[in-house]
Amino acid sequence: MYFVVKVTSGQEKIAANMLQNKMTKEQLPIYSIVVVEGMRGYLIVEAEDEIAVRSFITKERNIRGILPKPLTDEEMDKLLEVKSYSQEVHPGDTVEFTSGPFKGYKAKVLRLDNVKNDMTVELMDVVVPIPITTKINTARIIQKAQKS
């Protein structure tokens, strides 16, 4: 069964590491601890029953409690589903940032590093164009490069 544990927001990974260490020391029927990206303030603990989870998380720092209803297998599958937003970015393409400090800015792609999933871009509409390296998924293509 999967149980949602409330933790201090922003401390999910720290709480998960702490619980992981405790899990290796104690012989409780706890099977796994999951930090779901985008679920701030919550962890998911796979365990035999709610009593095991409650005794596992008692008196731990950054732990705020447990939600009363366990997750179903379907809900857990939906949370862990990998969402792929693949887009073919090429040098010369014009992109617009959809997140991060440059949100709303347009830029021209100079280079790509597919291994690291990075792109080097040059911001448009700025006084001094400076090359910036950022993740490909922080921007969307608004205009493809002209093929000659």
Domains of the chain: 2-80 (3.30.70.940), 94-143 (2.30.30.30)
How much is the pLDDT for 6?
95
Average pLDDT in the 114-139 region?
A: 89
Chain center to CA of 39: 8
Distance in angstroms (rounded) separating the CA atoms of residues 144 and 93: 5
Task: Return mean pLDDT, the chain.
Answer: 88
pLDDT over threshold 70, residue 82: no
How much is the pLDDT for 138?
87
Terminal Cα-to-Cα distance of the chain (whole angstroms): 58
Put the strands of the sheet holding 42-47 in their side by side order.
30-34, 42-47, 2-7, 63-66
Average pLDDT in the 121-127 region?
A: 91
Tell me if the pTM is above 0.85. Answer: no
What confidence tier does 37 reach under pLDDT thresholds 50, 70, 90? confident
pLDDT over threshold 60, residue 85: no
Give the residue from 1, 51, 50, 55 showing the smallest Cα distance to 23. Answer: 55
What confidence tier does 88 reach under pLDDT thresholds 50, 70, 90? confident
How much is the pLDDT for 148?
56
